[in-house]
Structure 1
């Protein structure tokens, strides 16, 4: 009886090990900034040990094990992990967050993640080398008319910057303001002369700020914040 029990336990463990060790091929595509495919992006399956890079259109296929974890990593992106479960589709669409700085824009092009033309079309950005910011009376005049699809509406204590259009009569449609990496409620006191650059972030790129970024994000870096 004892031998039978040991045999049964051994058989059960072998089945469990066999199920754990089953291979599975997962296909997918990696995007950033709404719909921009990411090439040369590293994908690692932690359990199987497989490592691949995405092709020029962001596609990949990789051999995994059951309960594996896929790690997506690039030098100018926030790493992302996806757990391989029975419910996971064999074809994945993975969106990774680009860490938006001027230096990272150059690195993204240099590493071949994206082309210069595609990145320029995906990111709306102004910096002080492109424009004399000091020639504007305030930050709202600076924003007004400089970014396609962005409106500055007067009213209330200060004007309101709207990126996605007015979507609600009762809820605020104002963009989220991020200054030197911190979320703030107002940008009216910022002198244009103190601004290093301004980004307008929308669509999936704004998702890094969660529900607060639903109306898009105005991200400002000041000369003080640069130091």
Structure 2
């Protein structure tokens, strides 16, 4: 009886081993952008475990094979690279790269073909805590007023990016903090030293934020624990 069962048991073990090995193969998909909406073409995506490098496609998308709790590093000339730690259940990754300070970075981004629409890129402005010491500003209004040309701060706290468009309707820019739409009054309680970056979108790129984006968008990213 044992002799007859042995081949069957061996078969079950082989099948389990094969399936278990296959289950270890894991792929993730992702997209790489800048200013939260402009896709980056040809960015390098480096997988730490396998040392594999793939490039983002014409839509900024990528797919890579990873190990459990792996890390990927995304880089492109003219941009500040980012390393992303993958959790066990991570399937999709959205990575936003900050443009390095200075006009040279924009030239790289456009000239190397990472950003297809140079006009859109030049309609954006960015400042990070790596570029400027935010602690020199007492509040967010002073920071925005002092560092972004043409951007106005009204007495009621509204941020005006594209000028006064209407007497009856608000011309205030949309405020986004850590991916969430907020009222401009949050800037009263937000301390500059808690901020990692400020992005200003002035043109049609803001359309992804709906009708309110027509007045421009202020995108603020605050510091997380690892950024302190």
Large movers: runs of 4+ above 4 Å: 18-21, 140-145, 163-166, 173-177
- Which SS does the other structure have where 2:45 is aligned? strand
Question: What is the DSSP-based 3-state SS (H/G/I as helix, E as strand, rest coil) of the residue aligned with 2:185?
Answer: coil
Choose which of 172, 184, 196 in structure 2 pairs with 1:167. Answer: 184
Which of 81, 90, 95 does residue 79 from structure 1 map onto? Answer: 81
Whole-angstrom distance in 1 between the partners of 2:30 and 2:123:
24
Q: Is the 8 A contact 2:81 2:97 kept in 1?
A: yes
Task: Identify the residue that residue 98 of structure 1 maps to in structure 2.
Answer: 99
Q: Deviations over 1:161-192 (max 9, x none)?
A: 846576228x6178959xxxxx9xxxxxxxxx
Once the two structures are superposed, residues 32-62 of structure 1 have per-residue CA deviations (whole angstroms, 9 ceiling, x without a partner) of: 1121111111001111222111112211111
Per the normalisation by structure 1, the TM-score is 0.52
Whether the 8 Å contact between 1:27 and 1:92 is mirrored in structure 2 is: yes
Please list, as runs of the form range in 1=range in 2, the aligned pairs for 1:35-114 lying within 5 A after superposition. 35-89=37-91, 91-114=92-115
Instruction: Check the 8 A contact 1:167/1:173 in 2, yes or no.
Output: no
Kept after mapping to 1: 8 A contact 2:125/2:148: no
Unaligned runs of 5+ residues in structure 2 are 1-16, 128-143, 161-172, 176-182, 201-216
Report the TM-score, using the length of structure 2 for normalisation: 0.52
The structure-2 alpha-carbon separation of the partners of 1:162 and 1:72, relative to structure 1 and needing over 3 Å to count, comes to same
TM-fit CA distance, 1:27? 0.8
Give secondary structure in 1 for the equivalent of 2:28: strand
CA contact (8 A) 1:39 1:56 kept: yes
Q: In structure 2, do the counterparts of structure 1 residues 27 and 57 end up closer, same or farther at CA, with 3 Å as the change threshold?
A: same
* Number of aligned residue pairs: 153
Q: What runs of 5+ residues in structure 1 fail to find an aligned partner?
A: 1-14, 126-139, 155-159, 178-182, 184-199, 212-227
Whether the 8 Å contact between 1:20 and 1:67 is mirrored in structure 2 is no
Q: Quote the Cα distance in structure 2 between the aligned partners of 1:103 and 1:25.
A: 35
Is 2:125–2:199's contact at 8 Å kept on the other side of the alignment?
yes
Query: Are the aligned partners of 1:43 and 1:70 in contact in 2 as well (CA < 8 Å)?
Result: yes
SS of 1:153 mapped into structure 2? coil
- In structure 2, relative to structure 1, the CA distance for the partners of 1:88 and 1:153 (3 Å cut) is same
Does the Cα contact within 8 Å between 1:30 and 1:58 map onto a contact in 2? yes
Query: Considering only aligned residues, what root-mean-square deviation do their CA atoms show, in Å?
Result: 4.2
